[in-house]
Amino acid sequence: MKIKQIDMKSIDEIREEMIDTVTCSKSDIFRIGEKCRHDYESMTNELANIKQMMVKLIEEGDQLEEQVKEARLTLSEVSMNFKHYTEEEVREAYEKAHQLQMDLSINWQYKKQLLDKRDDLERRLIGLIDTIDRADQLISQISVVMNYLTSDLKQVGEVLEDAKAKQDFGLKIIEAQEEERKRLSREIHDGPAQMLANVIMRSDLIERVFRERGPDEAFSEVNSFKKMVRSALYEVRRIIYDLRPMALDDLGLVPTLRKYLQTIEEYHKNSKITFVNLGLERRLPTKYEVALFRMIQESVQNALKHANACEIKVKLEITNNDITVLIKDNGGGFDTSIKKPESFGMIGMRERVDLLDGDITFDSKIGKGTAVWIRVPLTN
């Protein structure tokens, strides 16, 4: 097939139109998610009120059952010794027994209504959790697409000169996007989604503990419940931070790296991550900061997730002429002679370095850890 020269101006126009469309879609999904979160909070409060009312109704029902038993005994006594009671006393005994029986019946009907409403709310809450989860996943996926549209794809368009190269690289971008979506989906499903799904189960457990063991143990369960919710919130914030730290635009590469590596170390409590900046601490052009941050992020994540490293060292040196980075870990390592076509992480790192006219070297042996060297020249 003959490959025609592609008009870069047309590609830029198409890219800008795609960015506008994706931005609008992201805003719509965000509004849906926020509406669901608001409804979730309102329903959760309503469910808590219903459960409090249930506790009171159960206590009242128990008291009414005791009173009905006593009234029946009194009524039986009156019936057996009818001649010894006045007409007023007999009528009062019958009316009291009837009224207590009516109160008990109303109590039971009200409890049934509350139980039905509680079950309906819990079903709706599960549906809201699923909708919120789906909205979060879509926003994460859209953020990845936006990152490629606004940075990577633009850089590719500036560097690649013929249509064939652009087609090949576009396929790799799509494959990398799918891998990123799978990773985000797994992290959200295994982390925040699972924790949020347990919210309903834990609320029922708290209710049962309150009835069977008393308020002290129920209060202890509430504290555990709060810790679980905080943990879910921490997971969501970590995933959002992984997508693109806002500090990268505001503060620059060095402060953002320092904060990011500290956050990752706190999350992976069994790993030690050391960051050393040997050179200048100054702002770089956006394309350098984004590319270097992504490459360091990819290397650190690979060391933690695939190599099971417990010690990682990141050294950065910025001079007037170039940037040098070393990421070294004590993980399991890998055989550099074996090429894995599905290894999109390494492919993406090489492509980023190529776009900056730099060099990257992977030095690794099985059982001996991995060292990644990156050198990028700074053009004045």
Residue 342: predicted pLDDT: 45
pLDDT(66) > 60: yes
pLDDT: which is higher, 4 or 306: 306
pLDDT: which is higher, 337 or 91: 91
Pair of tokens at residue 339? 């090429």
The predicted model gives 104-110 an average pLDDT of: 87
Averaged pLDDT of the chain: 77
pLDDT(284) > 80: yes
- The gap from C-alpha 232 to its chain's centroid, in whole angstroms, comes to 7
Q: Which residues pair with 359 in a beta bridge?
A: 375
pLDDT(195) > 90: no
Torsion of CA 120, 126, 130, 131, to 10 degrees: 40
- The gap from C-alpha 67 to its chain's centroid, in whole angstroms, comes to 52
Q: How far is CA 90 from CA 64, 68, 103, in A?
A: 21, 16, 20
- Contact call for residues 339 and 157 (beta carbons, < 8 A): no
Q: What is the largest CA-CA distance in the chain?
A: 116
> What is the rounded distance in angstroms from the CA atom of residue 339 to the CA atom of residue 306?
16
Residue 46: predicted pLDDT: 87
pLDDT-derived band at 372, boundaries 50, 70, 90: very high
**Phi and psi dihedrals of 315, rounded to 5?**
-120, 130
pLDDT digits (tens, 9 = 90+) for 306-332: 888 899 999 999 998 899 999 999 988
**Antiparallel, parallel or unpaired: β 322-329 and 370-377:** antiparallel
pLDDT digits (tens, 9 = 90+) for 126-185: 888 888 888 778 777 777 777 766 665 555 555 544 444 445 555 555 565 566 566 666
Burial 217-226 (b: 16+ CB within 10 A, else e): ebeebeeebe
